Amino acid sequence: MRGFLASSIGVTCAAALALPLIPPASAATARPAPTAQAAGRNVPGSTQSLPLQPLIRDRTAGAAEQGLPRRAVRHFSLVGVVWDDPRAELHGRVQVRTRAAGTGTWSGWQDLQTHNTDHAPDPGTAEYASGRVRGATAPLWVGESDAVEARVRAEADGARGLGDMGLRLELVDPGAGDPPTGAPADGSRAGGALDAGADAAAAANAGLAPHGATEIPALSRRETERELLRSTERDLLGPTEGQRVKPYIGPRPAIVTRRGWGADERLRERKFVYTKKVKAAFVHHTASGNNYRCWQAPSLIRSIYRYHVKSMGWRDVGYNFLIDKCGKIFEGRAGGVARPVLGAHTLGFNSHSMGIAVLGSYGSSKPPSSAVRAISQLTAWKLGLYGMNPRGKTYLKSGGSNLHPRGREVRLNVISGHRDGFLTECPGRKLYGKLDTARSTAARYQGR
């Protein structure tokens, strides 16, 4: 995917109140038996960051290659390539080979998607101005591996700048089991920071589930409507007149919390940042490959979280929600699933929107019906909180993208694909083709 970085207006962030729901009974998230690595102990994640070096230079004008020769490394499960300037495009092909831990079997060469600047915090925000943000490829899930080889082959017109980009190979180990709860394995005193972060993340969902729950339980449509009416009577969400007459909202789906997928809350920034409302949902795919099993989804999410924060320099995972190929919904960026949390998913349109990422790559692979149904269920509920019709249109002001200049009021579907806001392949041709189904199903869940 190609893109350029346009300048953006700053985003005004306003604190938002959580939807006050009566705490239901705790519901435990079904989880597989622990692996041998995780059994009886917690294993924190880690990131290995290895600089890429020139490999060859042939006689073709402008042709160049950088990479990493075959090397044994500590265990990792996800790989990506980052570079210094988030505004710079990587004109080339990025490929890796990995060796499966335990078997010693090497994979063939696999491509990493160079999505460049289409996933990013908006310029003008504190997140973008932190000085930590980097350009990056999409991450690739490779499963537990212990050796790697990488190469970046420049296009003829991009070779000159390849060696100046500061290319680094990022190898992410998601860790195993729940995040540690006392002092970490290295003996440092970070347990208090972890506990405080976990408490804050859980408190942001107060009223939706008991403190520390691994899953926010589903509600029936009647229960969801009842709770929405209670909130609108108190004017907490600034409801539309239509909401006061009839609450068009779908039943709340079950959502795995950050605690449920094992987020290490020490990684992210402590504060939460909000916009004023949610007018649209942008659907993405993570472009991380489909070679995972659903019981591995928490590990994959922990890996993406670590890649977004430690490798790409974001304040938290970029997406507001993630969905695995079995249709399970996971809380993404911290701040409360019912609140308008500012994400970093659609450059120029992060404000007044939410980002939903389906785990996998759906350019040529058909997305599972369970994942499409989960998109419908989630949007019917979350968009319903803000009075939005999933089959409707809305206007968002562009912060600047390669499709929509900064400041332009853009008419979009309430449920849009990433490519509607930015010239990109995301969310993949096959998933994008299912959005009409998601819109009509979500509207039906809302009773429209």
Report the CATH number that the domain containing residue 319 is assigned in CATH. Answer: 3.40.80.10
Residue 119: per-residue pLDDT: 64
Whether 123 maps to a domain, the answer reads: yes
- Residue that has been written with the tokens 């940042």 in this structure: 273
Q: Both tokens of residue 169?
A: 């190979």
Residue 101: per-residue pLDDT: 96
Show the domain range for 428: 195-445
Residue 26: per-residue pLDDT: 33
Domain count within the chain: 2
Q: What is the pTM of this model?
A: 0.84
Whether 276 maps to a domain, the answer reads: yes
* Number of other CB atoms surrounding residue 393 within 10 Å: 11
Helix (H, G, I), strand (E, B) or coil at 222: helix
* Number of other CB atoms surrounding residue 338 within 10 Å: 28
Whether 38 maps to a domain, the answer reads: no
- Same domain, residue pair 113 and 245: no
Nearest-Å Rg of the Cα atoms of the chain is 21
Residue 192: per-residue pLDDT: 59
Whether 329 maps to a domain, the answer reads: yes
Region 196-213: mean pLDDT is 92
Confidence of residue 163 (pLDDT cuts 50, 70, 90): confident
Those residues with Cβ within 8 angstroms of residue 39's Cβ, 6 or more apart along the chain or in another chain: none
- Same domain, residue pair 250 and 153: no
Region 393-417: mean pLDDT is 84
Confidence of residue 42 (pLDDT cuts 50, 70, 90): low
Q: Give me the CATH number covering residue 83.
A: 2.60.120
Vertex 338: Cα angle to 126 and 349 (nearest 5)? 45
Q: At what angle do helices 435-445 and 369-385 cross, to 10 degrees?
A: 50
pLDDT at 2 over 80: no
Whether 107 maps to a domain, the answer reads: yes
Distance of alpha carbon 200 from alpha carbon 431, whole angstroms: 34
- Same domain, residue pair 148 and 201: no
Whether 435 maps to a domain, the answer reads: yes
Whether 22 maps to a domain, the answer reads: no
Confidence of residue 184 (pLDDT cuts 50, 70, 90): very low
Residue 15: per-residue pLDDT: 34
- Same domain, residue pair 208 and 60: no
Select from 382, 238, 398, 255 the least CA-distant residue to 324. 255
Highest mean pLDDT among 89-98, 221-230, 333-342: 333-342
Confidence of residue 194 (pLDDT cuts 50, 70, 90): low
Select from 281, 417, 303, 429 the least CA-distant residue to 359. 303
Residue 232: per-residue pLDDT: 59
Distance of alpha carbon 144 from alpha carbon 174, whole angstroms: 10
User: What's the mean pLDDT when you consider all of the chain?
Assistant: 82
Q: Both tokens of residue 294?
A: 């659903």
Distance of alpha carbon 282 from alpha carbon 415, whole angstroms: 6
- Same domain, residue pair 332 and 440: yes
Share of the chain above pLDDT 70, in %: 77
pLDDT at 403 over 90: no
Region 76-104: mean pLDDT is 93
CB contact at 8 A, 307 and 80: yes
Region 395-402: mean pLDDT is 77
pLDDT at 237 over 60: no
- Same domain, residue pair 315 and 369: yes
Last residue of one domain, picked from the residues 173, 204, 233: 173
Whether 24 maps to a domain, the answer reads: no
CB contact at 8 A, 387 and 242: yes
- Same domain, residue pair 268 and 144: no
Last residue of one domain, picked from the residues 142, 173, 204: 173
Q: 396-413: buried (b, 16+ CB within 10 Å) or exposed (e) per residue? A: bebbbbbbbebeeebebb
- Same domain, residue pair 428 and 326: yes
- Residue that has been written with the tokens 């149904």 in this structure: 373
Last residue of one domain, picked from the residues 110, 138, 173: 173
CB contact at 8 A, 371 and 224: no
- Same domain, residue pair 348 and 438: yes
Q: Both tokens of residue 183?
A: 């002092």
pLDDT at 434 over 60: yes
Confidence of residue 154 (pLDDT cuts 50, 70, 90): confident
- Same domain, residue pair 321 and 276: yes
Region 99-124: mean pLDDT is 85
- Same domain, residue pair 354 and 224: yes
- Same domain, residue pair 166 and 200: no
